[in-house]
Amino acid sequence: MARSNRKLIPESHQVLHQWKYEIAAEFGLPVSSSGGVLGSADTEFAGELGTGGTTTGYSSYWGHLTSRENGSVGGEITKRLIAHAQRNLVE
């Protein structure tokens, strides 16, 4: 059976992408998006945490991180999505 990677809500891609880099910065992981608006946000968050940012030479490549580090980012995204859904169901 063919597997589809079609997004149910295409507009969510940008938010999830932003969350990914915000969470990585919160966890102190050495990644950053490549420039643009997100790049400046990464620098802001990383600067607050003292972990660097786009100006320190980090790339958007995540392959140097361990599976545990990458999984922790994905797990935190899942927690935030569930919390967001629960808040919206209550309202």
The per-residue pLDDT for 44 is: 53
Going by C-beta distance under 8 Å and a sequence separation of 6 or more, which residues neighbour residue 20? 73, 77
pTM, whole model, 2 decimals?
0.61
Tens digits of residue pLDDT in 22-78: 999 999 998 866 544 444 455 555 555 554 444 444 457 788 889 999 999 999 999
Distance in angstroms between the alpha carbons of the first and the last residue of the chain: 39
pLDDT reading at 83 higher than 90: yes
Write the DSSP string, 11-66.
Answer: THHHHHHHHHHHHHHHTT-S----SHHHHHHHHHHHHHHTS--GGGT--S--TTS-
Instruction: Return the biggest CA–CA distance within the chain.
Output: 47
